[in-house]
Chain A
Amino acid sequence: MSAPLASLKLRLRRVERARQLRHAVLILPLLLFLGFTFLVPIGTMLWHAVDDPDVARVLPRTVAALHGWNGQALPGEATFAALAADLDDAAREQTTSTAAKRLNYDVAGFRSLLMNTARHLEAEPPAAGDAQATLLAIDPRWGDLESWGAIHRASGPLTDFYLLAALDLHRTADGHIAATPAEQAVYVDVLLRTLEIGFIVTALCLLLGFPTAYLLASLPARQANLFMIFVLLPFWTSLLVRICAWIVLLQGNGLVNGLLLWSGLVDAPLRLIFNRTGVYIAMTHVLLPFMILPLYSSMKAISPAYMRAAASLGAPPWRAFVQIYLPQTLPGIGAGSLLVFILCIGYYITPALVGGGGDQMISYFIAFFTNETVNWGMAAALGTVLLTVTTLLAMAYARLVADRQTTGGLK
């Protein structure tokens, strides 16, 4: 009994494998395309978040001398001499500023410290065996463990500096992870704010989208198509045009406030734009179709026979809705919510234009580090955090839908 059974399993597996192979061949072009346009950029980003070559390149001898340093006491004369020699070389090759910029991320004021020291050393190089005294004379900060710790931490080739910074953490001179002081911590707040805006916009989209999709799914085809055009209209206008329209509508003397004042509902114009309210309104508008479309398609697939069957079996309308209809829309709710949430937490242009200073989301900071300060490491680290959150969500969703089967009965 068991032998033929085993061979049956074997044959089944062989057939399955052949089928999977066929499927793989069919999607090969897509996989290649995705590889180049999706995986390579993401891989590059992940790499930038941990890549740290600058200091080791500019100050190779110092980095070598600091190897194995425990951070408890000031390094010896040899290390000071190595730094002096490295700075001498760097001055000639004009690479000092590269290392200075990187070290300044970690310790504020390091740029001036390094540039200043390099300038002084150029004027009067230290005598042999006198490097420590010379450097300390140029700037007493060379007597701080923190200064050497920064160089030590930045010796590369990989670093956790950016990733820790993206979570408001840093390493102390002796290598322990510590929280960034509250007055300097920003990114956790930004991440929480991003998630909060994501949740609220998703909830608003669901609240507005569910009844709309329900209406669309229950209308006769002709009317449903007409309404669908209205739903899709936002897709056909440029994002900037839409945002400008919102600014015109929502500003202090805009149409909405005009109506509110005229109707006597409010006495003074409400602040509806350039704050959180504006972000919610504009984002919900932009993302609503992404909620309605999956909901609509899942509702369209629900045969009216189910509701009739439920009624004939004795279920009052609300009960039929909650127990029969709603569960069958869950895949649509899940897909729509996931889509809106992921798009929302990655949105950049809309919050940047209609939000105030306290409404900027994580993507604003990514753009800031890429465009303004050209700090690739920080931009990539924040991107990695965003990617991680998104991936976790997608995985949770996949787990959720794998747990429930949603096809069957009516085909």
Chain B
Amino acid sequence: MPMPMPMSATETAPRHVAEPDAAPLVRFEDVDKTYDGEQLVVESLNLDIRRGEFLTLLGPSGSGKTTSLMMLAGFETPTSGEIYVDSRPIKNVPPHRRNIGMVFQNYALFPHMTVAENVGFPLRVRNVGRAETAERVARAMAMIKLEALAQRRPSQLSGGQQQRVALARALVFNPQLVLMDEPLGALDKRLREHMQVEIKRLHQSTGVTVVYVTHDQSEALTMSNRIAVFNDGAIQQVAAPDVLYERPANSFVANFIGDNNTLSGQVEQRRGPHCSVRLGGGELVQALVVNPRANGATSLSIRPERVRLLAMRDDPRGDNRLPGRLTELIYLGDHALALLDVAGTTDFMVRLPAGRQAGLACGQDVAVAFAADDCRALDPV
């Protein structure tokens, strides 16, 4: 297996994501942050980052992702709480001694240095010898496949090339941790997808721990080992992408990740892991209990691809069944999306496999069916 990253001999063994119970590389413990003394931008943040993992902080704009990252990098200080790296508190370690690589949204390549000088900068400040610096820079340039452009200035590179140089610069000094704050935000879609693969490849070949910030959920889903979903300064859920999608812990996560149908209702009766929920229009639905409010108010979350469309007379075979009216059919090539009025909700989405939309017409009365296990009773929105 090729090892393109410049690494010292002790570090050449391929590293893997540490076991969940191993000591975390980074631990946020009850971290609060306020800028103005009025509003908590980050609120009681508790988060473990495992050695070697690719962790993404995902959340809407202003949810505190950058602030959390900056506290880890040392450019902001927590108002209270403590951050540990390798079990050591880092409150009093200045940024330049944290040994954390960082990739900025606008790359922040030094304009008065060539590409090679930029990549060599972290080695020069560490007083690495001239010959070794040259060699490691050369290897890093090979890693990002930009050997030919080493003597250019950053202004003479395209956005994607600048991004790769920023990556090489953040990795060349073998930090144990690399932070990336929306590194692909300025690129167009095609290039962004290409760079996602590239970053993923670098992560796998170097074994470095990556903390990645984005508000693009598809980027988060494709790249991450785990995703921490932020909202209003608080973590909503930390889980692997599939868990986050299949088993959202609350309504915010259910709605933020992927398409979601929401039905509001009241829990009537609990039976083991399930409960029956009375919807606004009086319909009764069986659902999986996740976290309904204590007084029984709940929002049901059902993914569009877990819903079947039935003719009015079909038998749902034990599943939930709700009558509805088809309002719109959207053809999307590999699948089609049907929008319905169901139980007082408009735009209830049903994902139809390719070809199954034939014979359906807008305005038609139909029924939707879904299993109780696919219907999660979450906190009311």
Q: Determine whether the beta carbon of B96 is less than 8 Å from that of A316.
A: yes
Q: Determine whether the beta carbon of A312 is less than 8 Å from that of B155.
A: no
> B109 to chain A: which residues have CB within 8 Å?
408-409
Determine if A23 is an interface residue (Cβ-Cβ < 8 Å): no
CA distance A316 to B112 in the complex (A): 19
> B101 to chain A: which residues have CB within 8 Å?
312-313
CA distance A316 to B179 in the complex (A): 19
Q: What's the minimum C-beta distance from A202 to chain B, rounded to whole angstroms?
A: 23
Determine if B110 is an interface residue (Cβ-Cβ < 8 Å): yes
Determine if A357 is an interface residue (Cβ-Cβ < 8 Å): no
A:273-321 near B, CB below 8 Å = 303, 305-306, 308-317, 319-320
Q: Which residue of A lies closest to B98 (CB)?
A: A312
Q: Per-residue 0/1 for A142-165: is the Cβ within 8 Å of any B Cβ (1 yes, 0 no)? A: 000000000000000000000000
A:256-274 near B, CB below 8 Å = none
> B125 to chain A: which residues have CB within 8 Å?
313-316, 319
Q: Determine whether the beta carbon of B111 is less than 8 Å from that of A407.
A: yes
The 26 listed contacts between A and B (C-beta, < 8 Å) are A303-B106, A303-B108, A305-B104, A305-B106, A306-B110, A308-B73, A308-B95, A309-B102, A309-B110, A310-B121, A311-B95, A312-B96, A312-B98, A313-B101, A313-B170, A314-B97, A314-B99, A314-B126, A314-B173, A315-B121, A317-B96, A406-B111, A408-B111, A408-B155, A409-B155, A411-B106
Determine if A328 is an interface residue (Cβ-Cβ < 8 Å): yes
Q: Per-residue 0/1 for A301-345: is the Cβ within 8 Å of any B Cβ (1 yes, 0 no)? A: 001011011111111110110011001100000000000000000
Chain A, interface residues (CB within 8 Å), range: 20 to 34
> A312 to chain B: which residues have CB within 8 Å?
73, 95-96, 98, 100-102, 170, 179
Determine if B233 is an interface residue (Cβ-Cβ < 8 Å): no
> A410 to chain B: which residues have CB within 8 Å?
106-108, 111
Partner of A309 from B74, B99, B104, B173 at Cβ < 8 Å: B104
Q: Which residue of B lies closest to A316 (CB)?
A: B96
Chain B residues within 8 Å of chain A by Cβ, number: 33
Residue from B97, B98, B111 whose CB has the most chain A CB atoms within 10 Å: B111
Partner of A405 from B108, B111, B126 at Cβ < 8 Å: B111
Q: What's the minimum C-beta distance from A271 to chain B, rounded to whole angstroms?
A: 45
Determine if A404 is an interface residue (Cβ-Cβ < 8 Å): yes
Q: What's the minimum C-beta distance from A34 to chain B, rounded to whole angstroms?
A: 31
Q: Determine whether the beta carbon of A314 is less than 8 Å from that of B111.
A: no
B:61-119 near A, CB below 8 Å = 73-75, 94-102, 104, 106-112
Q: Which residue of B lies closest to A330 (CB)?
A: B112
> B112 to chain A: which residues have CB within 8 Å?
327-328, 404-406
> A311 to chain B: which residues have CB within 8 Å?
74-75, 94-96
Determine if B162 is an interface residue (Cβ-Cβ < 8 Å): yes
Residue from A308, A315, A409 whose CB has the most chain B CB atoms within 10 Å: A409
> A404 to chain B: which residues have CB within 8 Å?
112
Determine if B151 is an interface residue (Cβ-Cβ < 8 Å): no
User: A409 and B75 in contact (CB under 8 A), knowing A313-B121, A315-B121, A316-B96?
Assistant: no
CA distance A303 to B105 in the complex (A): 12
Q: Determine whether the beta carbon of B154 is less than 8 Å from that of A408.
A: yes
CA distance A407 to B110 in the complex (A): 9
Partner of A409 from B94, B110, B122, B126 at Cβ < 8 Å: B110
> B73 to chain A: which residues have CB within 8 Å?
308, 312
Supplied contacts A314-B99, A408-B154, A410-B106, 14 more A-B pairs, CB within 8 Å: A305-B104, A306-B108, A308-B95, A308-B108, A309-B102, A313-B96, A313-B125, A314-B96, A314-B173, A320-B96, A404-B112, A409-B106, A409-B107, A411-B106
User: A308 and B111 in contact (CB under 8 A), knowing A314-B126, A405-B153, A409-B155?
Assistant: no
Determine if B364 is an interface residue (Cβ-Cβ < 8 Å): no
> B218 to chain A: which residues have CB within 8 Å?
none
Determine if B12 is an interface residue (Cβ-Cβ < 8 Å): no
Q: What's the minimum C-beta distance from B82 to chain A, rounded to whole angstroms?
A: 21
> B346 to chain A: which residues have CB within 8 Å?
none
> B122 to chain A: which residues have CB within 8 Å?
313-315
